[in-house]
């Protein structure tokens, strides 16, 4: 059974008659069964995917197939897919069937992508390890004793373990980039509003972005190109034109690079990750790039700002899950008030309840100005400082994560330690800029190391081209 490393390889084999879409799907289904112990998929659409593949094979023969004919994709369990289960890996949405498809999902289907299944995640996308799913932990295929990252850990695992070619996840504070780093693949979070959020279960609405996982830049660029753009169902989505990202992967001039001194000098940064990051920066200098150090004194405030604001938004967004209209409803109640309380107590997991309570606290009348209002002011200061850096530089380079993939249970008892896993990724969400994690070698234990690159708003084309150059020429 051939392992494909790019969609280009798939299209070439299909065009030469070496393989059909149905055979491709069959091969992925075999791999999914062989690696089911990784616990990545909540639901596999075996019959549907096979039937869809047959239909696309006919379209290919007729010359009417879409751009993604032969592309097999997995969906994080926060993206609506009409007539399919959707529950954010939470008990509180047991039995819920989506009545419509997310705009991003529908755009994939319109181009004849094959959705092979629904992927687990940290409950309601809240977590950095994929240990918070109501359906059990997900294993990292590189080292099964370690976490795959979160919250889109399964989306990364499915691609890294060859259970699908690409996958979609969501990134609220690093939930695409951190798992990509831990699993040794590419993870892109685009500019906030580049992709419609219609059909994405909300965690924190002013931070959430749909992101893309892949093994190569070309595939990620193609998916981004297809799912981006305006949408009448999302008032926050950008109406600006979508570049042909997949055709803009050649760098036209050498960009100026900044690296944040505080990230490199952080005591919490793993020694080997620091060495690999510095090695990359030094290589760029030898290649004639301008690489300069910048200061970001607000770095220590980014993570608390992020958690104050996201938990506040989560407290509001998750208020709709009460057992009345859909999903789980507690049977241990005899009044409406008790039903609300029991349903939410039994239906939500520990981490989700922690964040709801924290968010409710910071929004309360006595603490609103002290926490929420102040955090909004700091968010603006962080954005202004980031924009100031980008007025002089094209990209900011920093580690994706402070450590490599940690072992299960290492941070489970200390929420603050778990929050620190997002230390380097939250800046892109707080400011809304695009960011990508690409592989940057491995540690002495054989664990993947990620390199993060951040760019100006809507500069995905340049970001992807630069990332491609780094992967091909250095890593």
Question: What pLDDT, in 10s, does the model give residues 326-346?
Answer: 999 999 888 999 999 999 999
Given CA atoms 441, 398, 468, 73 in this order, what sign does their dihedral have? positive
Q: Give the count of domains, the chain.
A: 1
Choose the catalytic residue: 76, 107, 189, 462. 76
pLDDT digits (tens, 9 = 90+) for 253-310: 999 999 999 999 999 999 999 999 999 999 999 999 999 999 999 999 999 999 999 9
The model's confidence at residue 168, banded by pLDDT at 50, 70 and 90, is: very high
Query: Strand order of the sheet with strand 166-171?
Result: 41-44, 114-119, 72-76, 166-171, 209-214, 186-189, 435-442, 448-455, 395-399, 256-260, 290-294
- Residue 112 gets the label, from left (phi > 0), alpha (psi -120 to 50) or beta, of left
Please tell me the distance from the alpha carbon of residue 279 to that of residue 274, in angstroms, as a whole number.
9
Residue range of the domain that includes 254: 1-475
pLDDT digits (tens, 9 = 90+) for 174-230: 999 999 999 999 999 999 999 999 999 999 999 999 999 999 999 999 999 999 999
Q: What is the CATH number of the domain that holds 173?
A: 3.90.1300.10
Coil/strand/helix, residue 277: helix
Model pTM above 0.95: yes
Measure the CA dihedral 289/290/293/296, to 10°: -100
- 151: annotated active-site residue: yes
Please tell me the distance from the alpha carbon of residue 18 to that of residue 20, in angstroms, as a whole number.
7
Coil/strand/helix, residue 234: coil
- 189: annotated active-site residue: no
**What per-residue confidence (pLDDT) applies to 420?**
81
- 76: annotated active-site residue: yes
Residues 452-469 have a mean pLDDT of 98
Choose the catalytic residue: 90, 129, 133, 151. 151
Choose the catalytic residue: 101, 152, 175, 238. 175
Please tell me the distance from the alpha carbon of residue 225 to that of residue 244, in angstroms, as a whole number.
6
Residues 167, 155: contact at Cβ < 8 Å? yes
């Amino acid at each position: 059974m051939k392992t494909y490393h790019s969609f280009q390889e798939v299209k070439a084999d299909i065009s030469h008659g070496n393989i059909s879409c149905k055979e491709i799907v069959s091969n992925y289904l075999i791999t999914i069964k062989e690696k089911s112990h990784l616990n990545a998929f909540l639901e596999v659409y075996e019959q549907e995917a096979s039937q869809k593949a047959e239909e696309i094979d006919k379209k290919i023969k007729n010359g009417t197939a879409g751009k993604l004919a032969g592309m097999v994709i997995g969906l994080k369990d926060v993206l609506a897919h009409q007539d399919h289960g959707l529950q954010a890996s939470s008990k509180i949405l047991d039995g819920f069937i989506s009545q419509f498809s997310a705009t991003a999902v529908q755009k994939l289907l319109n181009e004849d992508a094959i959705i092979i299944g629904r992927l687990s995640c940290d409950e309601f996308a809240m977590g950095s390890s994929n240990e918070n799913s109501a359906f059990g932990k997900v294993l990292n295929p590189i080292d099964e004793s370690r976490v795959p990252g979160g919250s889109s850990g399964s989306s990364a695992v499915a691609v890294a373990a060859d259970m699908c070619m690409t996958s979609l996840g969501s990134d609220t504070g690093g939930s695409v980039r951190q798992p990509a780093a831990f699993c040794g693949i590419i993870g892109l979070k685009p500019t906030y509003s580049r992709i419609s959020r219609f059909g994405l279960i909300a965690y924190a609405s002013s931070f959430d972005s749909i992101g893309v996982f892949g093994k190569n830049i070309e595939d990620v660029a193609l998916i981004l190109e297809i799912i981006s753009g305006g949408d009448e169902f999302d008032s926050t989505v950008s109406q600006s034109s979508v570049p042909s990202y997949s055709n803009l992967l050649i760098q036209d001039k050498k960009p100026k690079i900044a690296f944040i001194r505080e990230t490199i000098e952080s005591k919490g940064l793993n020694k080997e990750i620091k060495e690999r990051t510095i090695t990359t920066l030094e290589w760029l200098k030898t290649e004639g790039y301008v690489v300069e150090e910048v200061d970001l004194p607000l770095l220590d405030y980014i993570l608390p700002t992020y958690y104050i604001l996201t938990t506040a938004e989560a407290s509001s967004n998750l208020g709709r899950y009460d057992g009345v209209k859909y999903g789980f409803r507690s049977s241990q109640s005899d009044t409406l008030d008790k039903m609300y309380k029991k349903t939410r107590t039994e239906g939500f997991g520990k981490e989700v309840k922690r964040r709801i309570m924290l968010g409710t606290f910071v929004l309360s009348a006595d603490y609103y100005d002290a926490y929420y209002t102040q955090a909004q002011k700091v968010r603006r200061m962080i954005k202004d400082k980031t924009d100031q850096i980008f007025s002089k530089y094209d990209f900011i380079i920093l580690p994706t994560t402070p450590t490599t993939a940690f072992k299960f249970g290492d941070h489970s008892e200390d929420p603050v330690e778990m929050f620190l896993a997002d230390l380097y990724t939250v800046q892109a969400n707080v400011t809304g800029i695009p960011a990508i994690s690409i592989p940057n070698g491995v540690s002495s234990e054989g664990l993947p190391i990620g390199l993060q690159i951040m760019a100006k708003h809507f500069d995905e084309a340049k970001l992807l081209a630069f990332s491609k150059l780094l992967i091909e020429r250095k890593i």
